[in-house]
Amino acid sequence: MSSKLFAIVAGAGTGTGRAVALRFAKAYPVVLMARRTESYHDTVSEITQAGGRAVGVSADVTDSKSLVSAFDAIKKELPDFKLAAAVYNVSSGYTIKPFLELRPEDLNDSLAGSARGLFNFAQNTIPLLLDAVPESEHSPTLLVTGATASVRGSAKFGTLAAGMFARRALAQSLAREFHPQGVHVAHSIIDGIIDVPRAQAYAANGGVEDGKLKPEAIAESYWHLHTQPRSAFTQELDLRPFVEKF
């Protein structure tokens, strides 16, 4: 475990967020952030019991003031620690419906979770990541979770796609601005159903084994992205089950 470095995962629920927190906890104390305590409570315990260090923080990333308070609390909890990795894995609320049945709130919800949340999260984490550049073994990294809807506006997925396209735009722009300063920003297009408890009823790809993305596999790729030296940064990769049509 590197001393004096920590990681933070926003959107630390049962799937990718949990797996990424567990993976990064092998190397760093990890802050798990979610709106509700229930989302991260069990994972915090799991990490702690395994001998790692985990801190849960409740915050609403779409609310810039809530986020500033959360980062103040984190600073008190981990004084002198620098930020090695920040993962933005927040799911936006979204509604899949014929366009003419959507309400303006449906678009707002998607934009809030997908774009405004990342904006706020990046404004709070990038100064910390920059500050860690001289000391972090691996380039300080901002990892952003995307989806099929990040690159494709399907029928009836317009509001989801609007948010996810916007999220990808921000990640790309941040990469272009901060890569030269040593902070690595990568965006992953998760193209398929993630194998989480609440997706159990959904037999993706005909129910074939490994037809859904294992959160642990995603986490391993996130860890790889974090460890890439600055001479060879990946800005974007896709991840999908072997049987996924694309």
Is there binding between residue 10 and a copy of itself (CB under 8 A)? no
Selected from 8, 32, 195, 226, the binder of a copy of itself by CB under 8 A is: 195
Asked whether position 46 contacts a copy of itself by CB under 8 A, the answer is no
Under the binding rule (CB under 8 A), the answer on residue 99 touching a copy of itself is yes
12 neighbors 21 (Cβ within 8 angstroms): yes
Among 52, 140, 146, 163, binds a copy of itself (CB under 8 A): 163
- From the list 134, 155, 201, 207, which residue makes contact with a copy of itself (rule: CB under 8 A)? 155
Contacts of residue 88, defined as CB under 8 A and 6 or more positions apart, other chains included, come to: 10, 11, 61, 117, 118, 121, 122, 142, 143, 144, 145
Of these, 4, 58, 108, 199, which contacts a copy of itself (CB under 8 A)? Answer: 108
**Residue in 8, 132, 162, 196 binding a copy of itself, rule: CB under 8 A:** 162
Q: Is 27 in the site for a copy of itself (CB under 8 A)?
A: no
Under the binding rule (CB under 8 A), the answer on residue 68 touching a copy of itself is no
Are residues 110 and 93 in contact, defined by beta-carbon separation less than 8 angstroms?
yes
Using rule CB under 8 A, residue 79 touches a copy of itself = no
Q: Compute the Cα dihedral for 12, 70, 94, 155 and give only its sign.
A: negative
**What is the nearest approach in angstroms of a copy of itself to the Cβ of residue 208?**
9
Nearest in space to 213 (alpha carbons), one of 116, 167, 145, 161: 145
- One of 51, 79, 134, 180 touching a copy of itself (CB under 8 A): 180
Distances, alpha carbon 46 to alpha carbons 21, 51, 69, in Å: 10, 9, 26
Nearer to a copy of itself, 54 or 174 (CB): 174
Residue 74's nearest CA partner among 19, 11, 124 is 124
Which of the stretches 25-33, 76-84, 86-94, 164-172 binds a copy of itself when contact is defined by CB under 8 A?
164-172
Q: Minimum Å distance from CB 188 to a copy of itself?
A: 9
Q: Is residue 107 at the binding interface for a copy of itself, with CB under 8 A as the rule?
A: yes
For residue 142, list its beta bridge partners: 86, 185
Q: Total binding residues for a copy of itself by CB under 8 A?
A: 79
What is the rounded CA–CA span in Å between residue 215 and residue 194?
Answer: 7
How far apart CA 26 and CA 54 sit, in angstroms, is 11
* Contact between 23 and a copy of itself per CB under 8 A: no
Distance CA 57, CA 102 (A): 33
Which window, 47-55, 68-76, 78-86, 110-118, contacts a copy of itself (CB under 8 A)?
Answer: 110-118
Binding a copy of itself (rule: CB under 8 A), the pick from 35, 82, 116, 138 is 116
Please report which helix (H) or strand (E) contains residue 17, including its range. Answer: helix 16-25
179 binds a copy of itself (CB under 8 A): yes
